[in-house]
Structure 1
Amino acid sequence: MTGQLSFPRQHARTQRFTLGAPRDYAVSPDGARVVFLRSPSGTDRAQRLWVLNLNEGREFAAADPSTLLAGADEELSPQERARRERSREGSAGIIGYAVDSAVELASFTLSGRLFVSELRAGTTRELPARGPVVDPRPSPDGRYVAYAAEGRLRVIAVDGAADGHGDRALAEPDGPEVTWGLAEFIAAEEMARHRGFWWSPESDRVLAARVDESPVRRWWIADPAHPDREPARIAYPAAGTPNAKVTLAFLGLDGARTDVTWDTERYPYLARVHWSAAGPPLLLVQSRDQRAQRYLTVDTETGATSTVHAEEDAVWLELFPGSPAWTPDGRLVRIADEGGARKLFVGDRPLTAAPLHVRAVLDIGEDDVLFAASGTQAHDIGVYRAWFRGSGDQGGWERVGERPHPTVSSAVRSGEVAVLSQASLERPGVRAEVVRLAADGSEKTLATIGSYAEEPVLTARPRLVLAGEREIPCAVLLPSGYTEGDGPLPVLLDPYGGPHGQRVVAAHNAHLTSQWFADQGFAVLVADGRGTPGRSPAWEKAVSRTIGEVVLADQVAALHALAGSFPLDLTRVAIRGWSFGGYLAALAALRRPDVFHAAVVGAPVTDLRLYDTHYQERYLGHPDEEPAVYATNSVLTDEGLSGAADQHRPMLIVHGLADDNVVVAHSLRLSSALLAAGRPHEVLPLSGVTHMTPQEQVAENLLLLQVDFLKRHLGMA
């Protein structure tokens, strides 16, 4: 029974309460169908493909993995495993799908096999594709499916032999390290570009990425628990080393090929590709230092490119979901920083202004743009509409959905019908509603999509506050039932604290783990200092070249600022974190032992030269050009490693041995440096675990072991 489970077990078994919740929506242009994924229970990892028929008011499963695989376990190719790791996908079954323009046909893979579902009828069948299939996508007219397989980009006719095409390769690799139609490591890990090909609106050709990884240095990821197995060989572009060479080509169904040309030396990063009926293919390309980028249109006949907009920034240029794109009448839609605010633009005209901080473009209609943004409070992320012509407020904006409570919201829309997903502090999970957003700005709820996600066995009670002169967004969580007479509590800082990692949000489930730690006897503080998203461009870019110093300073400032308002025992302060949070925890223990008395350091980046190009060079520059910046911000070159013995602080270092993002060498080098400096510490290696920790027993015991370590070293009973 759910009520008999401990929170660590439930949290692990439900994959952080995401299983059973609907996700990944598509809405048909006629407003008749909503397609989505959902597993059949809050503990079942296998996602099914569902259809909600709005006209009939009924919901049905169009594809069930257990039926399609006849009960067999999934078998994943190395390419598919890599895609799931880059997207942090821990579930199973149908973890993604693509649809044609009418949302009549969906394609997806299971065990490297290709399936298509007729969404009106709810029937699914397998196509005889040459696998293992990766990322299949139907043509807009629904007649073909293109997919990647063994370095090739292939196309297969849905009816088996339309126009005599059958199943054949559109592009073959012309080198041992060349692939077609897949996103390279950097694009998938850092640019949020997870695809490598795009259909033409006429369904007669594909614009495909050719990736040559031969310049990229090779690393080896071994599993010490299985010395009989060969190490995995991966191409990893560490800071300062060569990237993969990425180009594009038009591949016609008739066999024609036209290469796309732009200045790849000056702009080597292919960050975004957009191709719709509203205009020619649109590319966003970046310079390696990410201080310059160009919006390019592509001539579909010659492959030549032309600049339609150029941007430069003295610090860096951020990338955004859904941007760039075209309006139906051919105007450029983009998000850009101007005058201290992050704004939404159509053409040269800004549609928004402060205090809105635009985060993503969600959909572009005939008259308006649907987008996500923060308002005056960074923790409140809403869905908004801004009009660029026609009806409505003629350039104004308004919020969509639940009011007045703060939320964390997103939306998927087609025509007037949208699926609005909203989380709040008042309830667990996410509520998904199908709404009609009329041209006059009115809203009408049409249906609610049910969730099978489990109810957490505890309730999070965060207090969202602003700390200190910088007004650092914070969440403070005290033990359930705490009263003032209980006295001050040992403190646990529980941050991520870095770029693209906002933790202080108006969503109940985001604070569950912090609440559980609080219920073990801690006052838990989560602080989003400078560098975290959602507040302003200047706030995010304040970490440039001094990321370690700035993020640590803001954690300390938040702690001291709140000590007068909350029962914080500053003689017993610990910190825990994973990934960037692990880096921050290590910095805290080594650089500020006067403040922190113990640290749990999970999967930390310690030697900054060992992390990837696009991320590390954005914040620190090129290591060959700015070596002092890397040394100053690195954990391993910190003077604290050789400090006095009485300044030592206990440290638990945790790392997955199969991590191909933050490789275990980071933690091994930290451990070696600590040992050489005579500093005792604990190391917990996780065999077979990647940068994610989806394994139920691992995820559960990690929480329990952290509490044990913290209580021991903070002198708690």
Structure 2
Amino acid sequence: MTTEKPHDTFPRQYARTGRFTAGAPRSFSVSPDGARVLFLRSRGEQRPANLLWRLDVATGEESVLADPEALLGGGAEELSAAERARRERSRETSAGIVGYALDAAGRTAAFALSGRLFAVDTADGAARELPAATPLLDPRPSPDGAHVAYATPGGELRVSAADGSGDRLLAGPEADGVSWGQAEFIAQEEMGRDRGYWWAPDSSALLAARVDDTPVRRWWIADPANPGRPPVEVAYPAAGTPNAEVGLWLLGLDGTRTEIRWDRAAYPYLARVHWSAGGPPLLQVQARDQREQLVLEADPATGATTVLVTERDADWLELFGGVPVRRADGQLVRITDRDGARVLTVGEKALTDAGLHVRSVLGTDGENVLFTASAGAAEFERRPPGWLGVFEAGPDGVREVGDGALGAVRGAGTTVLTTAHPRRPGTTVTVHREGAEPLPVASHAATPLITARPVFRFAGERRIPCAVLLPTGYDPDVDGELPVLMDPYGGPHGQRVVQAHNPHLVSQWFADQGFAVVVADGRGTPGHSPGWEKSINRRTAEVSVQDQVDALHALAEQFPLDLAKVAIRGWSYGGYLAAAAVLREPDVFHAAVAGAPVTEHDLYDTHYTERYYGDPNAEPEVYRANSLVEMAPSLRRPLMVVHGLADDNVVVAHSLRLSTALLAAGRPHTVLPLSGVTHMTPQEQVAENLLLLQVRFLKEALGLL
């Protein structure tokens, strides 16, 4: 554990430690025999580069398999532009080894480091660099361990023998804008698919995505602080504009090629691909409006596909982690919405009911399926707000594996559980094997300088999950009512109210500046029910703001909230929500800080935006009704807009258009541009000063200074 530094502050510590992830173990794998557990972990905040570790389950001994400092000879890590973009898409803030892939036996691990190819024998610990075309991306061993495939920023998919010989091209390069074996922008950013190729179980071939992004419109992101630098060209598929064209091919190591065929005009989105020894390849493809999707089985010999499942929904269909997948017996495992509940199915049989709201599948082990779930409608209020658990479904029914578990990995009876608790900093990782005491996996993460003290409540008639944080040492008899800071994300795929400690640290820091901080997960956020998530359809501004209002008023009956002094802040969707709140409800919200807000939805990407608002060419009125730019003339409260100028996800044009509209309407406001900052703000000094400036702005706006 690290010790407190002189003159250290929580904001600096939070940024320096990558939100306290530096030194925490992650990315677990269990060998097929259950004897070894592999994982990534750095030595702590002073040495934040991840190493690859091995845990011997029998002895509990940990050993280093791959150390970036040793492999690079002490040299600095160098990242290609493509790798930096990939890490931005996945919100990856660490360094060193950030991912690895294993062969079927768990004997060979391959990984990229500084754009170079490395492999390590997980049994004897022998690590080596393999000759390869550099820089490279996403190396993956074949199941038999004989080969390693990888992609390049130039659009190539290549393969090399595991002994370092015979590196060769499998596909590409083609024309500019065409790549093989890589996920396109919206697959990475919105679909949860970060890979673009998959090995055949017998190691004879690969399924590879061919992505042609030449139809996608080009945007240019400049660095105004350095006008001598040329702008960066970005292929950005904004709502209502063309997407990349994505196909799938079977590439044999013998040089054969077979196109996998489906109706790509009707189902252009390749959402998931799965290929295991349980049967032929599975594809999940979606219509562009995301109201219909298919699970297909592909014939590797001919490329023909057969429809296994057709799903339709009047609002939209969600994509879930880990599915569709096959069990070892070939049965299809899915997550689907039935009768208002989100359930786990094997074949046509539902294994769960309305008591659980299934979130993701973590893996299969024989006939058993490991999955995460929150409380379903039938059990919602019997669990605390933000509760999550890990479960196992099999022939003997469904049983809970870990209460408060964030995730799990299993192999041959060995289970790795990651758990969190709201009164305990960080996460706890333990390795479980029947008949043995749990083995702890050590964490080198820093201990936060502050302690979060969230109080959880369901608020109002809709029972909105909330966390309330009061200043450390707050005395109601002395301090009285407190000014309020609403601190939501409040939108799709962004659950903030969780039964964990560290996710509430920033809210606690704001509370310690003299606020009662309220985090409310209104309709549209995950973890409740399908109907809860989809009630924002076509009306995000109205519904999201109303739930913040309702949560605030309900909690004021239980906590010392001064409703005459209420501010709201947020980032990304939370920034949109903060600005919408102060524009739509100025009698409730008296100041706002909007960070990286989506202000005009036709400036955001297709897969996300069209899911909630439709096609802007067909439903322009929906876009106008939810546009902050359209609402701009109604501003009569202090508003600070913050945006990173290098953001290629929510581009700074969003905030500039809002500012222009506010100026045209004669509405005073504050704009804080962050030079060189992307959608994340990892820089230590920037992160600290950004928090301090927000506090000062909000206190001035509420008359507290």
**Post-superposition shift, 1:556?**
0.5
- Which residue does 2:389 correspond to in 1? 382
Q: Which amino acid aligns with 1:213?
A: D
- Paired residues of 1:39 and 1:48 also in contact (CA < 8 A): yes
Written as runs of structure 1 = structure 2, the 5 A alignment for 1:580-595 is 580-595=573-588
2:123 equivalent to 1:116: no
Return the match for 1:2 from 4, 10, 17: 4
- Which residue does 1:192 correspond to in 2? 192
- Paired residues of 2:329 and 2:367 also in contact (CA < 8 A): no
Return the match for 1:142 from 142, 145, 154: 145
RMSD over equivalenced CA pairs, Å = 1.1
**Post-superposition shift, 1:450?**
0.4
- Paired residues of 1:2 and 1:10 also in contact (CA < 8 A): no
**Post-superposition shift, 1:3?**
5.9
**Post-superposition shift, 1:367?**
2.3
Q: Residue 280 of structure 2: SS of its match in structure 1?
A: coil
**Post-superposition shift, 1:401?**
2.5
2:621 equivalent to 1:628: yes
**Post-superposition shift, 1:173?**
3.1
Written as runs of structure 1 = structure 2, the 5 A alignment for 1:324-473 is 324-375=324-375, 376=380, 377=383, 378-387=385-394, 389=395, 393=396, 396-402=397-403, 407-436=404-433, 444-473=436-465
- Paired residues of 1:107 and 1:138 also in contact (CA < 8 A): yes
For residues 223-258 of structure 1, what are the alpha-carbon distances to aligned partners after superposition, in whole Å with 9 as ceiling and x for unaligned? Answer: 111111111101000000000000000111111111
List structure 1 segments (4+ residues) > 4 angstroms apart after TM superposition: none
How far apart, CA to CA, are the structure 1 residues paired with 2:370 and 2:547?
34
How far apart, CA to CA, are the structure 1 residues paired with 2:644 and 2:343?
39
Pick which of 707-716 and 267-276 moved more. Answer: 707-716
Q: Residue 354 of structure 2: SS of its match in structure 1?
A: coil
Q: Residue 126 of structure 1: SS of its match in structure 2?
A: strand
Q: Which amino acid aligns with 2:398?
A: W
Q: Which amino acid aligns with 1:579?
A: S
- Which residue does 1:574 correspond to in 2? 567
- Paired residues of 1:545 and 1:620 also in contact (CA < 8 A): yes
- Which residue does 2:55 correspond to in 1? 52
Return the match for 1:695 from 658, 683, 703: 683
Unmatched tracts of structure 2, length 5 or more: none
How far apart, CA to CA, are the structure 2 residues paired with 1:240 and 1:415?
48
> TM-score scaled to structure 2, two decimals?
0.97
Q: Which amino acid aligns with 2:424?
A: R
Q: Which amino acid aligns with 1:551?
A: S
Written as runs of structure 1 = structure 2, the 5 A alignment for 1:288-307 is 288-307=288-307
- Which residue does 2:604 correspond to in 1? 611
2:12 equivalent to 1:12: no
**Post-superposition shift, 1:444?**
5.0
- Paired residues of 1:21 and 1:42 also in contact (CA < 8 A): no
> Cα 1:408–1:58, aligned 2, differ >3 Å: closer, same or farther?
closer
Return the match for 1:498 from 488, 491, 494: 491
2:474 equivalent to 1:482: yes
How far apart, CA to CA, are the structure 1 residues paired with 2:196 and 2:576?
32
How far apart, CA to CA, are the structure 2 residues paired with 1:243 and 1:35?
38
> Cα 1:685–1:459, aligned 2, differ >3 Å: closer, same or farther?
same
> Cα 1:174–1:9, aligned 2, differ >3 Å: closer, same or farther?
closer
Return the match for 2:641 from 650, 653, 662: 653
- Paired residues of 1:408 and 1:424 also in contact (CA < 8 A): no
> Cα 1:361–1:527, aligned 2, differ >3 Å: closer, same or farther?
same
- Which residue does 2:28 correspond to in 1? 25
Written as runs of structure 1 = structure 2, the 5 A alignment for 1:30-429 is 30-149=33-152, 150-161=154-165, 166-375=166-375, 376=380, 377=383, 378-387=385-394, 389=395, 393=396, 396-402=397-403, 407-429=404-426
How far apart, CA to CA, are the structure 1 residues paired with 2:400 and 2:535?
29
Written as runs of structure 1 = structure 2, the 5 A alignment for 1:539-578 is 539-578=532-571
For residues 677-698 of structure 1, what are the alpha-carbon distances to aligned partners after superposition, in whole Å with 9 as ceiling and x for unaligned? Answer: 1111111111111101111111
**Post-superposition shift, 1:172?**
1.2
Pick which of 115-124 and 551-560 moved more. Answer: 115-124
- Which residue does 1:710 correspond to in 2? 698
For residues 155-210 of structure 1, what are the alpha-carbon distances to aligned partners after superposition, in whole Å with 9 as ceiling and x for unaligned? Answer: 0001133xxxx100000133221000000001000000000000000011000000
Q: Which amino acid aligns with 1:127?
A: L
- Paired residues of 2:155 and 2:174 also in contact (CA < 8 A): no
2:546 equivalent to 1:527: no
- Paired residues of 2:30 and 2:411 also in contact (CA < 8 A): yes
Q: Which amino acid aligns with 1:691?
A: H
How far apart, CA to CA, are the structure 1 residues paired with 2:690 and 2:63?
38
